[in-house]
Every structure is written in structure tokens, then in C-alpha cells.
Amino acid sequence: MPVRLFLLILAISFQSVVIILCTLLFRKISNRRCNRAMCFLWTLVAVRLLLPISFASHKAGIPNPANYLTAEYEVAAQADRHASADNTISNQHISDLPIPVSNTADFSNTAHTPLLIIIRTASFIWILGVLFFCVYNIIAYIKLRVKLSESISEDNIMLCDHIHIPFVFGLFRPRIFIPSNLAGDSRRDAIAHESVHLNRKDNLLRFLYICALALHWFNPFAWIAFRTFDRDLELACDDSAISSMTKEEKDSYVNTLLMLSCSGNRNALIHISSFSNGLVRERLVNILSPQKSSRGAVIACLTIGVVVFSTSLITHAHENVSVVFENDTLQALRQDYPQYFNLPTEGGLTVFVSEPISGEYRCALVAGSNLHPANADLLTFRNNGVDPEAMNAILSTYDISQENIHIQPVIDLLSSYSGGLNTVEGQTDSVVFERLQQRLLKD
């Protein structure tokens, strides 16, 4: 289960790279003309990182290496289960012939072992990373909550002596926390900024990214997406906060931003909306030289977001030819004796068994029942016969009941041995044959 979950997360990560790159490209082109709409695009990125849904298409879709890796893992895992279950061929149709087996084939298949080791090790490291990420943030959250427990409420604003920057804290009941020593215009500016975060429920968007980063901590594009989302969130918040300010108030807002950004105390938590978050230089340029918001840019942003998000849900279908494991011996039999595979089973199957030497059996397989092969066929069977263990493997590829498998002894025309299963004037040694037949069809 952890391995398959890891492969699912890996597939989602690959799919999400497309929407992240497209969003970064559009952000560059829009040049701060639609900061709020960009936050919507980054929200779609977070949703895609958490959405475990993809639609496969043979004609379209994004090629995803993780899909091929998942298919290879399924084959390798099935091979591993098959090899560990039994290192010898066994089947309900034929087993334990009354002969000594000197060369038992080893059906353990180690060709897929490196792939299994790599994937299982990677999934283990991924789980450790998820646990470390969660534990680290939970501990940081608890520590900060302890600090904030001594805060004093004033006009629904929490004043705290143990913090140096204002921020919004809390998930379901968020509050604005500001340093106690922040007063005058600086307090007004900080409250104006954090109130925008509070009203827009930006704390929920950050929590969405927290969950996404917990699962995709190994993906550098996920971290780039979060950091850029954080910057765009602050730009959009600045736009809203200063929209009704006078020039003097904007200057005060800029001074407050510079003062708090130089405080030298940035909180370790990544899910708080802080006044000093974001790239300060970029925010100053956005405040002092704002770009006029363009309705066309906003519409284009929303349209591109929906299109790219929908595209990221479609993956190119992986042509999985067969996930049925076949060991090396069975594959070799398919190559050397193709006439014994894929036979029609409607009329049953017949196994012709000859005994050219005492205790040594040769088997041939044909479709049908109640057959009477000619001498030429008997020679063909002898030259192309396989030992009982190999016939056991061949029969394991057929979905057929025991009642429809018929064991028929035949004369080996080139052998002088006259005992055992050889027929004499159409008769057989009934005791030997019945014993062999019961063992061949033993369930």
C-alpha cells in the first residue's frame, strides 16, 4: 500500500509540473496586471497536487513517466510474489509424476529485483520525509501557540510581547496578532494588511499548500509554486490594502514594510500570513509603480487556468500489454515450442505421453479429444516432446478444467522398450497407466 501510494503521488507530481510551468510563464507575461487572479491560478496548482484523479487517453494527454514506472512495478511485484511462493513449477493439472527429477528448474526471477528495491526504498524515504515535515510543522505550531497564549485582545486584535512581526494565525478561528510595541501608523498599516488576509481566508489557502507540500516535499516545483504563491498573495494583499490610501498613507505603508522586513525575525511556520512575507523589493515596486489592472489579463488568466488545469488531469494512456508474470523457463518454452501454446480448448486438450526409456517420459499437447494419431504424428511427438515438468508449465497457461484434459499413452516407434506405457496390440498396462493418469490430473 505505501509503495502504490508513493507511485500515485509521483504520478500527480509529474502531472502538476505542467500547470506549474504554465502558471509561471503567464505570471511573467502578465507583469503584475492581475495579482489577485494569479492567486486563483496558484490555488488550482495546490488542488491539482492534492487531487488523486487522472483520465487516461490514447489520443491525447501528457506523457507521464510515473505511469510507466507503476506498470513496471506491478509486473516486477507479481514476479517477486511468484518466485517467492514456489521455486518450482506447480499446477493443478499435472504434478508429481512417478519419476525421479534430476534437473529441477529454478524459477526464481531476479531480473526485476533492482527495480523493486529502488522503488520500495524510495517509498520508504518518502514516508520518512512526510513524517518529518508533519512533525516539524506541528512542533513549530505548538511552540508558536504557546508564545501567543499570553496575548492580550484589544479591539479584536491580539497584542503579543513575544513576536516581532504581525500575522494571521489560526485555521478555523484565525486572529490577527501584532507585536505589542507596534504603534501609531505602523500598527494601522499592519492591521490594514492583515485584515485583507483575514477577510479573504488566505489562511485556508496556505493550509491547502501545507497539505500539498507534505505529500510532494520531494518535488522542487511544488516548493517553487508555494514560494511564488506566497509572493503573489502578498502583492494582491498590498493592492487591496493601499487601494483607498492617500499618498502620505502609502508612504507610511512602505516605511512600515521596510521596518518589519528588517526585523531579522522570520517565523519558521509556512502557514502564517505575515506582513513581512514575500520579496520586499518586488512588493515595493508593486506599491510605488503599480501596473494598471487589465480586465483582459484577468479573463485570460482565468481561462488559461481552467484550460491548463483540465489538461493536467489528462494523461497519455500507457499500453500495458500484459501484467501476467511468466518466468524465464516458461518464456523459453513459448519460444521453443510455440505449437503447444494458444490452442483452442473448446474440444478439450490431449496430452500424449510416451516412455522411450524406462522411467523417462515425453509429452506432446494437441487440441481435441479421442484422437488417434498416425505414425508420422507419433514421430513428430517424439522429436518435439517435452518432459512432464515442462508440460506442467505449458498447461498452466490454459484456463481449462481437469475433466477436459485427457492423458493418452502412445507407442514410441523408435524405442525397443516394451513395458510401462507402451501399448501392445492396443492394450496398455492398466495398473501403470491408471496410476500415472491419477497423478497427472491430481488436483
Q: Looking at residues 104-108, what average pLDDT do you find?
A: 39
Does 84 score more than 60 pLDDT? no
Q: Looking at residues 353-372, what average pLDDT do you find?
A: 80
Strands across the sheet containing 152-154: 152-154, 157-160, 175-179, 167-169, 273-274
Mean pLDDT (the chain, rounded): 77
Res 101: pLDDT: 37
Res 126: pLDDT: 94
Q: Looking at residues 341-361, what average pLDDT do you find?
A: 83
Q: Looking at residues 15-20, what average pLDDT do you find?
A: 89
Distance in angstroms (rounded) separating the CA atoms of residues 165 and 150: 16
- HEC secondary structure over the chain: CHHHHHHHHHHHHHHHHHHHHHHHHHHHHHCCCCHHHHHHHHHHHHHHHHCCCCEEECCCCECCHHHHHHHHHHHHHHHHHHHHHCCCCCCCCCCCCCCCCCCCCCCCCCCCHHHHHHHHHHHHHHHHHHHHHHHHHHHHHHHHHHHHCCCEEECCEEEECCCCCCEEECCCCCEEEEECCCCHHHHHHHHHHHHHHHHCCHHHHHHHHHHHHHHCCCCHHHHHHHHHHHHHHHHHHHHHHCCCCCHHHHHHHHHHHHHHHCCCCCCCCCCCEECCCCCHHHHHHHHHCCCCCCHHHHHHHHHHHHHHHHHHCEEECCCCCCCCCCCHHHHHHHHHCHHHCCCCCCCCEEEEEEEEECCEEEEEEEECCCCCCCHHHHHHHHHHCECHHHHHHHHCCCCCCHHHEEEEECCCCCCCCCCCCCCECCECCHHHHHHHHHHHCCC
Confidence of residue 337 (pLDDT cuts 50, 70, 90): confident
Res 426: pLDDT: 40
Residues in the chain: 443
Res 322: pLDDT: 40
- Do 219 and 46 form a contact (C-beta atoms < 8 A)? no
Does 406 score more than 70 pLDDT? yes
- Do 362 and 99 form a contact (C-beta atoms < 8 A)? no
Q: Looking at residues 335-350, what average pLDDT do you find?
A: 87
Distance of CA 2 to the CA centre of its chain: 10
Q: Nearest 5°: CA angle at 131, between 177 and 267?
A: 25
**pLDDT tens digits, one per residue of 196-234:** 999 988 889 999 999 999 999 999 999 999 999 988 998
Q: Looking at residues 16-30, what average pLDDT do you find?
A: 88
**pLDDT tens digits, one per residue of 157-199:** 899 988 888 999 988 889 999 998 888 888 999 999 999 999 9
Does 395 score more than 80 pLDDT? yes
Of the listed ranges 38-52, 60-74, 330-344, 357-371, the one predicted with least confidence? 60-74
Does 399 score more than 70 pLDDT? yes
Q: Looking at residues 123-143, what average pLDDT do you find?
A: 93
The domain ranges of the chain are 2-316, 334-440
Res 363: pLDDT: 85
Q: Looking at residues 139-159, what average pLDDT do you find?
A: 88
Res 49: pLDDT: 93
Of the listed ranges 16-30, 80-94, 98-112, 175-189, the one predicted with least confidence? 98-112
Report in angstroms the alpha-carbon separations of 44 from 208, 228, 290, 306, 343.
10, 13, 25, 8, 53
Res 134: pLDDT: 94
Of residues 31 and 226, more confidently modeled: 226
Which of 2-16, 270-284, 316-330 tops mean pLDDT? 2-16
**pLDDT tens digits, one per residue of 285-330:** 888 887 777 777 788 888 888 888 888 777 765 554 343 445 667 7
Res 321: pLDDT: 39
Distance in angstroms (rounded) separating the CA atoms of residues 157 and 155: 5
Of the listed ranges 50-64, 115-129, 302-316, the one predicted with least confidence? 50-64
